[in-house]
Structure 1
Amino acid sequence: MYSKKEYFRHISLFIITFVCATLAGGEWLYGRSLMSSENPLTWPYFIKSMAFSIPFIGILLIHELGHLFTSIYHKVKSSLPFFIPFWLGFIGAPSIGTMGAIIKMKSMVSSRKKFFDIGVAGPLAGFIIAFGVLTYGFTHLPDSDYIYEIHPEYLEEDYNPDEAAALTIELGDNLLFWTMEKVLADPEKMPDMGELIHYPYLFAGYLALFFTALNLLPIGQLDGGHVIFGLFPKSHKKISLTFYSLFMLFAGLGIVNPFMETSYLLIALPLYIGFVFICFRKTSLSLQSKWALVLSIVMLQYSISYFYPHAQGYNGWLLFGFLLGRVLGIEHPPVIDGSPLNGPRKALAWLAILVFILCFTPQPFQIS
């Protein structure tokens, strides 16, 4: 089915991604970098860092295999999983070793049911494994003094966290993570969200929930878009466009506001309006409707900032919003067989929507 060249390419990308994730794990877990002379990532620490990379990359692999095996079952030609390595340790910047993984459809998906099956299989398969990893992580927390092995400076009398930390990364909560913490974790051993990066199973599980929610966004050709396409055959376009608009509204909240200096605002406002328009440019709306929608979003953001000055979205979503609008698309392709989903598939669709609600983190990475 696949050539030796394809196997070599995909396996090589997987191995490179795994190594990159392990290197990133060493940086997050132990503050040790391959490029550092003061705290080098030695071979023993590289092995220990696999406690992060094995569950994290493993969950991504299960997710993609869910898509792959379902596409094989439906006789839809697809590629093997493409893993995307992404490590920035060589320039001293934080990264998680990968930008995720994808499979590419090589033949037309002819029916609504096939699109749904292929789309929903990945996130549900990955979610099951992620849930298991988090369960293990919450029920096997190390003693509370574990953090001092990584940060012995915390024990120093004159230690001042505000002066010591040049960069602080705190993970945001989602409903599932918060609930599992309250139900499963020992409160005396549970770290705060700013120290979670040092706990490999919790960090790997958290990132897996992040990628699961990202894929289940009910937009366009994402897995969540396939779910909405199957569940709401007549209104999926409106749902996708509405959710994308709300997503961009939240992402850009605070970018432009009435409290900026006038000279800066006169430059930033038209540039930002242009950016948002580019994100909506490929929609099937008329040009007039696109401009009306874009200006409405920006005006609403500006108004919210006026009445609620402390309201802040998550600007980190803007890049993903751009990729959705310009690359992935926010409209689902049509199919030849538009037959509606049966009862069991509808139940799975609602389950996928519930998983999205439980996993989505509005502000996943808070950097200060």
Structure 2
Amino acid sequence: MRWWPIRARRFPPPPPPDEMLVTEDRLRRNVEDVLVIRDRQIRGGIVVFRGELMTEPARALDLLIGRFRSLGYTPYLREEAGGVAVQALPLTETAGRSATRPNVILFSVTCVTMLLAGLGYVGAPMFDALRTAPSLALRFFAGVPFAATLLAVLVVHEFGHYFAARYHGASVSLPYFVPAPPPILGYLLFGLPIGVPFGTLGAIILMRSPARDRNSLFDIAAAGPLAGLAVAFPAIVLGLAWSSVVPMPPEGYSGFGDSLLTWGLSYLRFGHIPPGHMLFTHPIVDAAWAGLLVTALNLIPVGQLDGGRIVYALFGRRHRAVGRATVIALLGLGVAAFLWTLRAPGGDIILAIGSSLNWFVWAGLISLLVGLHHSPPLDDLSPLSWGRRAIGIACLILLVLMLPPFLFQVKSS
């Protein structure tokens, strides 16, 4: 799972009241040809002017950004009961570029952990032959089909965000990839296959400045999932072409659970799988499945996740209500998965807990770490374009299609 947070604002201590009065007067002189001022207020180091705009919000923001910057402030345009508020906040953009060495190191380590994770996925004959190679280094590359596919999805996803942000003039960091110990490492160290099956927890991009308006906020948020999907979808189609239906082993099997999308693609490729048989997937399918899962998790419409940003662009301040409803829905799906598994043939309490735990974990992580709040853009008055509204609804539909009800499935012969 990946978080894409805005770096927390750290405002300096407010200056003495006398200095704030001088600052308020300077700001007012820069606002009064843009806003018919009816009221003004000083709240700590923040100055708020209320009234009615004399021009379009986009034009007003263009004028105020340069003027406020010279005074060490950033303008925010808000809708309030009976008019508009122009909020002057201490500069919220982080100046300067951060060193790229941590990004390179984390990316390199992630490549290694993903290659190790890829050793757990078989089904690519040319690379499977490397597992018995005399050289240990050659055996290491047996994980290339899985690692290269998933890495391509993640890299394209992250740089979709990055280039969209740069296009809109927002300041962002390069991606920070997050490596995770794969199961094979746990087996070598502790004798147990403990670890993250993908070898990574995704990546993080830090926003150093607020989005300009809802349109740019939407573009930056949606660019990542849509770009990643443009890689994951053809990858899973290609991988299914190299997969096959085989007899189920006597002891049964366990594998990744199907989403509506993966089930539909599998059905189009193989039709109904006969009893006593199973789909033996190519490692590219497994990697694309992981990429679709990561994309779906990021589209959950809560807080600082990509889906939370999309929902803010769509619904504005009502995004909190959508977030609360989403957390409740996740908990409800967890209960439904538990009861479904418990009542299914061969179901037991342990299997039911395992099949539903992911929903409760996601709801808990969202509530405790991600949160329901999303910071507004500079211009919260200009509406989202109708084309973007349609794409936003499509993104939420994609979430339903890509999120599997059960992360894992266990079947017996």
Q: Normalized against structure 1, the TM-score is what?
A: 0.69
Task: Among all aligned residue pairs of Structure 1 and Structure 2, give the percentage whose two residues are the same amino acid.
Answer: 29
Aligned to 1:277: none
* Higher alpha-carbon Rg: 2
Q: Structure 1 residues 130, 255: CA separation in 2 closer, same or farther (over 3 Å shift)?
A: closer
Q: Is the 8 A contact 2:221 2:309 kept in 1?
A: yes
Could you tell me how far apart the structure 2 residues matched to 1:68 and 1:311 are?
38
- CA deviations over 1:68-127 (Å, ceiling 9, x no partner): 001111111111101100014332214320011110111222422222111100000001
SS at match of 1:192: strand
Matching residue's letter, 1:115: L
How far is the alpha carbon of 1:27 from its aligned partner? Answer: 2.2
Aligned-residue CA RMSD (Å): 3.4
Aligned to 2:186: 91
Could you tell me how far apart the structure 2 residues matched to 1:134 and 1:247 are?
26
Residues 1:365 and 2:365 aligned together:
no
Q: Structure 1 residues 108, 76: CA separation in 2 closer, same or farther (over 3 Å shift)?
A: same
How far is the alpha carbon of 1:22 from its aligned partner? Answer: 0.8
Residues 1:8 and 2:101 aligned together:
yes
Matching residue's letter, 1:182: Y
Matching residue's letter, 1:315: L
- CA deviations over 1:193-216 (Å, ceiling 9, x no partner): 6x54xx211101111111111000
More strand by share: 2
Could you tell me how far apart the structure 2 residues matched to 1:232 and 1:73 are?
24
Aligned ranges for residues 322-361 of structure 1 at < 5 Å?
A: 322-338=364-380, 339-361=382-404
Q: Structure 1 residues 2, 124: CA separation in 2 closer, same or farther (over 3 Å shift)?
A: farther
Match of 1:161 among 228, 242, 251: 251
Aligned ranges for residues 214-225 of structure 1 at < 5 Å?
A: 214-225=297-308
- CA deviations over 1:340-363 (Å, ceiling 9, x no partner): 111221122122122212111121
How far is the alpha carbon of 1:253 from its aligned partner? Answer: 5.9
Aligned to 1:237: 320
Aligned ranges for residues 166-245 of structure 1 at < 5 Å?
A: 169-185=254-270, 192=278, 195-196=280-281, 199-233=282-316, 235-245=318-328
How far is the alpha carbon of 1:316 from its aligned partner? Answer: 2.0
Aligned ranges for residues 1-368 of structure 1 at < 5 Å?
A: 6-29=99-122, 42-88=136-182, 89-92=184-187, 93-94=194-195, 95-141=197-243, 160-161=250-251, 169-185=254-270, 192=278, 195-196=280-281, 199-233=282-316, 235-251=318-334, 314-338=356-380, 339-366=382-409
Could you tell me how far apart the structure 2 residues matched to 1:255 and 1:354 are?
24
SS at match of 1:170: strand
Could you tell me how far apart the structure 2 residues matched to 1:80 and 1:183 are?
39
SS at match of 2:100: helix
SS at match of 1:315: helix
Matching residue's letter, 2:397: L
- CA deviations over 1:210-231 (Å, ceiling 9, x no partner): 1111000111221111111112
Could you tell me how far apart the structure 2 residues matched to 1:76 and 1:174 are?
35
Q: Structure 1 residues 41, 83: CA separation in 2 closer, same or farther (over 3 Å shift)?
A: farther
Q: Structure 1 residues 2, 126: CA separation in 2 closer, same or farther (over 3 Å shift)?
A: farther
Q: Is the 8 A contact 2:157 2:227 kept in 1?
A: yes
Q: Is the 8 A contact 2:176 2:204 kept in 1?
A: yes
More helix by share: 1
Q: Is the 8 A contact 1:253 1:315 kept in 2?
A: no
Aligned to 1:294: none
SS at match of 1:100: strand
- CA deviations over 1:19-51 (Å, ceiling 9, x no partner): 101101102338xxxxxxx99994333223101
Matching residue's letter, 1:91: G
Matching residue's letter, 1:64: E
Total equivalences in the alignment: 289
Q: Normalized against structure 2, the TM-score is what?
A: 0.62
Matching residue's letter, 1:66: G
